[in-house]
Amino acid sequence: MQDIEEIYKEYFETVYKYLFCLTHNSDLSEELTQETFYRAVISINSFRGDCKMSVWLCQIAKNLWCDELKRNRKTENIDEKNFEFFSSDNDLENNAVSKEEKVNLYKKMQKLDDLTREVMYLRITGELSFKEIGDILNKTENWARVTFYRGKTKIKEDKENG
């Protein structure tokens, strides 16, 4: 088992990006990331190793975010300059484009249902595999892949229609 300092260094960015996808707020994401690692330290013995460490940490982070939502009952605005955009049909999640296009994509993604939007954020900004996304959302890898594809298709249709 890695020590907690190594785990922190290796997974901080992944957990932070995941939380940013959920919160759309850099300060809150930072705070929840710190709390995630605190919770991981006190419960490291409960990590069974039947999933990747990053998946386990993101599950802790998601639970903290849900707790935060219950406490506040509000959502934050996204910091658009930190949002990653994609455009091509074949390599959708890897192409960065202009800030204006990023803003337009963000607006289109807001029209997607919550689960599809979350899958899109995890894939694009969190750079997680479909298996990891499925694990985090308690779904299958195939479900995550299909959901991402459908979201991508809907955004592409919206782009072509206006």
Please indicate, yes or no, whether the overall pTM of this predicted structure exceeds 0.85.
Answer: no
Q: How far is CA 37 from CA 104, 110, 133, 142, in A?
A: 34, 29, 20, 29
Q: At what angle do helices 99-109 and 114-124 cross, to 10 degrees?
A: 150
pLDDT at 65: 84
Topology of the domain comprising 84-161: Arc Repressor Mutant, subunit A (1.10.10)
CATH code, residues 4-72? 1.10.1740
pLDDT at 25: 83
pLDDT at 100: 67
Q: Which residue has the tokens 């639970």?
A: 63
pLDDT at 75: 36
Q: Where are the domains of the chain?
A: 4-72, 84-161
* DSSP one-letter code for 78: P
**Residues of the chain below pLDDT 50:** 74-97
pLDDT at 73: 62
Helices (H), 24-52: 26-42
Per residue in 74-112, is it b (16+ CB within 10 Å) or e — as a string? eeeebeeeebbbbbeeeebbeeeeeeeebebbeebbeeb
Alpha-carbon span 94 to 84, nearest angstrom: 9
